[in-house]
Amino acid sequence: MGLSIGLVGLPNVGKSTTFNALTKAQNAEAANYPFCTIEPNKAIVPVPDKRLAELAKIVKPERIQHSTLDFVDIAGLVKGASKGEGLGNKFLSNIRETEVILQIVRCFDDENIVHNEGNIDPLRDVDIIEGELILADIEVLSNRIERLKRQAKSDKSAAATLEMAEELVEFLAEGNLARNFPKADTEIYQNLNREIRLLTQKEIMYGANVDEDGLIEDNDYVVRLREHAMKNNCEIIKLCAKIEEELIGLDDEEAKEFLSSLGVEESGLEQIIQKGFDKLGLMSYFTAGVKEVRAWTIRKNTTSPKAAAVIHNDFEKGFIRAEVIAYEDFVACGGEAKAKEAGKMRLEGKEYIVQDGDIMHFRFNV
């Protein structure tokens, strides 16, 4: 669907290690020095969904297909990135092309691992990253303001946009993120954002990279990062990049036992993928047959013809109706046939809004 999550952070905080674990392959070189990632590494990551396994127990298909997410590992930012320091301008343009920012923040001490700033301070690291994003937004806005000043002389709508842009620049200059701008829900603001794609308007998730001890109980670094995340209405997820990388190669049962031995129920990366899927405004519906049990990715509030088009455009063009069984009913009844017998299958038309987890079969005529 062309939607992606960008991994950002200072150099050497565990981004590439996290990316390796996300993709379950050593696709990104992880090294103990800054800028080991120059070109953005990209990967398509399956979205964990336990419901698929439950459907497969009933249907016994030849294969299972998960929904997927695109992750981009963007090289480390440094102070002055908005002015081209390090490899800044290139990195900022890569971030602009993503829809959600996953900011990896180091929240543990280890004298054997170099930190670009000399010591561990999550809030300082976050301030550096977000400060550079704010400065980049101010620069783009300032350029737009100069053009709007000329247009505003003869165009009332340009004058209104100019006023909004100038208010926003002042707001950003105070160290605020655009996503917290009081007028962010207005049409003028949203049109402006669509045009210039503000970096600090994007959804942000913080990946608190902790050591093994930090997985069970929040250390002081994580406590401070949580407070910052709450203030900005952002998600924070704890992970231990080193542990996540160790999970590579383990099957599901082995991974579950390993996490359980650490006192953890769910991988931090699984949480990141699931939260990212939600932040992108996505959900899944299912098809379930002997050939394949599959999750299909759609945006929330999608109508049934548009959902059908994800499988094939002809399904939308010739849409007649959709046969729908709720996931819970499908599992409780033990499959499609018994769900039909129990009256749990519904016939839905073109106006139906697909629900997360619906099992669907489309009738169409082309």
Residues whose CB falls within 8 Å of the CB of residue 357, separated by 6 or more in sequence, listed in order: 51, 284, 285, 286, 326, 327, 328
Q: List where CATH 3.40.50.300 sits in the chain.
A: 4-279
3-state DSSP assignment of residue 155: coil
Q: Which two tokens stand for residue 35?
A: 């800028």
Pinpoint the residues of the chain covered by CATH 3.10.20.30: 301-364
Query: Degrees (nearest 5) of the Cα angle 62, 68, 71?
Result: 145
Whole-number Cα distances in Å, 161 to 144, 171, 176, 191: 10, 15, 20, 9
Architecture of domain 4-279: 3-Layer(aba) Sandwich (3.40)
Structure letter (DSSP) for residue 179: G
Residue burial 324-340, b: 16+ Cβ < 10 Å; e: rest: bbbbebbbebeebeebe
pLDDT along the chain (366 residues), means of 10: 80 83 57 43 85 96 92 71 52 83 91 69 92 91 92 86 95 95 94 93 94 90 95 92 85 86 88 92 96 96 96 93 97 96 96 97 89
Residue 192, judged by CB atoms within 10 A of its CB (0-12, 13-18, 19+), counts as buried
Backbone angles phi, psi at 60, to 5 degrees: 55, 65
β-strands 319-325, 359-364 pairing? antiparallel
Whether CATH 3.30.910.20 fits 301-364: no
CB atoms within 10 A of CB 208: 25
Tell which residue, 52, 79, 56, 69, has the closest CA to residue 1. 69
Count Cα neighbours of 161 within 13 Å in the Cβ-side half-sphere.
Answer: 25
Instruction: Supply 273's token pair.
Output: 């993928």
pLDDT of residue 26: 38
What pLDDT is recorded for position 256?
Answer: 87
The two three-digit tokens of residue 254, written as one number: 């082995």
Give the predicted TM-score (pTM) of the model.
0.83
Instruction: Give me the phi and psi of 192, to 5 degrees please.
Output: -65, -45
